[in-house]
């Protein structure tokens, strides 16, 4: 896989100072976790999953979750499981005839489970294709992850990976990864939160090599108060959610024992029912003249400005990537993961001077101080993102990846 693979070679050379690198399941866990970017959720009984992947309908898609939990009605579970295996079988059969370009275009595919009991059934159904080397899943998402169900999920995942290694003599890398979703009431409610998070961190520690990232179930959290953010606001404007996300980052995002934490879902489609004034500045679009400003207005009418704002809050709080429910959300999430030329220069300066001889340096952009020790982990994360999402040329920012320039050109 490679991010921004819908751009042609000329566009890549013009936009990027350093282009994104191809990546895949054999990358180390930390780097692969940062590479998920926008993770698209879709229900398991959606009829065209395999066909859309085979035909590369959404070229920008690099990670996805097929959902057997909240997207499926309680009376649809058996039907959804059968539909899932039909889609996976179709995809596995097509894999043999796909071109290299089509294979590179397939996203990382994960399965969101409903319960440990279902996980056991899924494992039994998957086993023949796993042993034959045909299974195209990269892992599983564990919803409503708790002390009660978490240990069962993790034990099953460990047993599955151990069985695969014994059967196929694979490398130490996990064949399947797990992604727990933190979304239960004991995590949201203040009086029980700290004990719950500490207990879950201890539970996960022996299995850390198999945990790709930690996900946050914002929709379930909001439901516990009967609230829902409007598209004019972000989750960080909702006090209980902001407080909870901060504590999750505090426990799981520490540099001495860090997990990659994914941004919560953005759930809005286009609408004209705005209340608050948009906060997407005109300046980044002005370089393209009145057509650039018209493109900005299109983003606002599609609520992409709200999504952009929430992504910036995610990043400010140490989160990476985001759950999305519509293909139009993929590019904004990934565009904002791309590293600016200024960030790259600062990061390389910090890392190259990490020799004990220098404590602080003025940025080459003359607008900030780079302190070697305090900013070192930040710089390392920037270079990880640079490998995955590329480094933009000095004259560009994320708006070029939203399609601004191409939109303007096609409108002339």
Written as six digits, the tokens of 70 are 């909240």
Contacts 24+ apart (CB under 8 A), 77-80: 77/114, 77/118, 79/45, 80/43, 80/44, 80/45
Residue at a domain's end among 297, 313, 335: 335
Q: What is the pLDDT of residue 342?
A: 96
Residue that is written with structure tokens 């201890």 in the block: 202
Contact 212, 179 (CB under 8 A): yes
pLDDT at residue 112 is higher than 50? yes
Q: What is the pLDDT of residue 261?
A: 97
Q: What is the pLDDT of residue 410?
A: 42
Are residue 61 and residue 189 in the same domain, yes or no?
A: yes
Measured between alpha carbons, how far is 387 from 380 in angstroms, rounded to an integer? 11
Written as six digits, the tokens of 308 are 């952009």
* DSSP structure class, residue 44: T
Are residue 325 and residue 357 in the same domain, yes or no?
A: no
How far does CA 244 lie from the centroid of its chain? 19
Are residue 320 and residue 354 in the same domain, yes or no?
A: no
Are residue 20 and residue 91 in the same domain, yes or no?
A: yes
Q: What is the pLDDT of residue 76?
A: 93
Per-residue pLDDT of 85-108, as tens digits, reads 999 999 999 988 888 777 778 899
Are residue 285 and residue 398 in the same domain, yes or no?
A: no
Per-residue pLDDT of 329-362, as tens digits, reads 999 999 999 999 999 999 999 999 999 888 898 8
Contact 153, 211 (CB under 8 A): no
**Closest of 285, 215, 219, 291 to residue 248, by C-alpha:** 215
pTM: 0.91
Q: What is the pLDDT of residue 271?
A: 57
Task: Establish if 1 belongs to a structural domain.
Answer: no
Are residue 255 and residue 359 in the same domain, yes or no?
A: no
Are residue 265 and residue 244 in the same domain, yes or no?
A: yes
pLDDT at residue 192 is higher than 90? yes
Measured between alpha carbons, how far is 137 from 151 in angstroms, rounded to an integer? 22
Contact 370, 348 (CB under 8 A): no
Edge-to-edge strand list for the sheet holding 38-43 = 215-216, 177-182, 137-142, 108-112, 63-67, 38-43, 322-324, 263-266
* DSSP structure class, residue 261: B
What is the tally of structural domains in the chain?
A: 2
Per-residue pLDDT of 33-76, as tens digits, reads 999 999 999 999 999 999 999 988 998 999 999 999 999 999 99
Distances (CA, A) of 56 to 22, 49, 254, 387: 17, 11, 37, 23
Q: Which domain holds residue 355?
A: 341-411
* DSSP structure class, residue 296: H
What are the φ/ψ torsions at residue 180 (nearest 5 degrees)?
Answer: -75, 145
What are the φ/ψ torsions at residue 293 (nearest 5 degrees)?
Answer: -70, -35
Per-residue pLDDT of 65-80, as tens digits, reads 999 999 999 999 999 9
Percent of the chain with pLDDT over 90: 70
């Amino acid at each position: 896989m490679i991010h921004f693979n819908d751009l042609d070679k000329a566009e890549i050379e013009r936009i990027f100072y350093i282009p994104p690198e191809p990546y895949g399941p054999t990358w180390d866990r930390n780097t692969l976790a940062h590479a998920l970017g926008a993770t698209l959720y879709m229900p398991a009984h959606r009829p065209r999953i395999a066909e859309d992947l085979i035909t590369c309908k959404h070229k920008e898609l690099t990670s996805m979750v097929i959902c057997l939990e909240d997207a499926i009605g309680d009376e649809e579970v058996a039907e959804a499981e059968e539909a899932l295996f039909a889609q996976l079988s179709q995809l596995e059969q097509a894999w043999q005839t796909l071109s290299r370009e089509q294979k590179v275009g397939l996203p990382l595919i994960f399965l969101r489970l409903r319960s440990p009991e279902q996980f056991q059934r899924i494992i039994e159904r998957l086993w023949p294709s796993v042993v034959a080397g045909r299974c195209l899943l990269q892992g599983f998402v564990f919803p409503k992850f708790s002390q009660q169900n978490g240990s069962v999920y993790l034990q099953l995942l460990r047993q599955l990976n151990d069985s695969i290694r014994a059967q196929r003599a694979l490398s130490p890398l996990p064949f399947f990864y797990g992604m727990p979703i933190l979304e239960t009431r004991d995590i949201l409610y203040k009086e029980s939160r700290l004990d719950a998070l500490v207990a879950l961190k201890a539970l996960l520690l022996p299995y850390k090599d198999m945990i790709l990232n930690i996900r946050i179930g914002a929709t379930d959290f909001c439901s516990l108060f009967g609230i829902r953010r409007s598209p004019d606001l972000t989750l960080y404007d909702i006090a209980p959610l902001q407080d909870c996300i901060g504590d999750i980052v505090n426990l799981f995002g520490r540099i001495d024992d860090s997990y990659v934490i994914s941004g919560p879902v953005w759930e809005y489609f286009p609408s004209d029912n705005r209340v608050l004034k948009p906060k997407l500045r005109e300046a980044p679009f002005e370089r393209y003249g009145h057509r650039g400003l018209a493109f900005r207005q299109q983003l606002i009418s599609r609520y992409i400005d709200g999504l952009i704002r929430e992504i910036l809050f995610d990043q400010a709080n140490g989160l990476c990537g985001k759950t999305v429910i519509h293909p139009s959300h993929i590019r904004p999430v990934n565009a904002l993961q791309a590293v600016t030329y200024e960030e790259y220069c600062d990061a390389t300066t910090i890392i190259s001077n990490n020799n004990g001889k220098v404590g602080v340096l003025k940025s080459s952009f003359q607008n900030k101080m780079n302190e070697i020790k305090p900013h070192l982990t930040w710089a390392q994360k920037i270079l990880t993102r640079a490998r995955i999402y590329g480094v933009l040329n000095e004259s560009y920012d994320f708006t070029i990846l939203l399609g601004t320039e191409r939109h303007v050109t096609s409108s002339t």
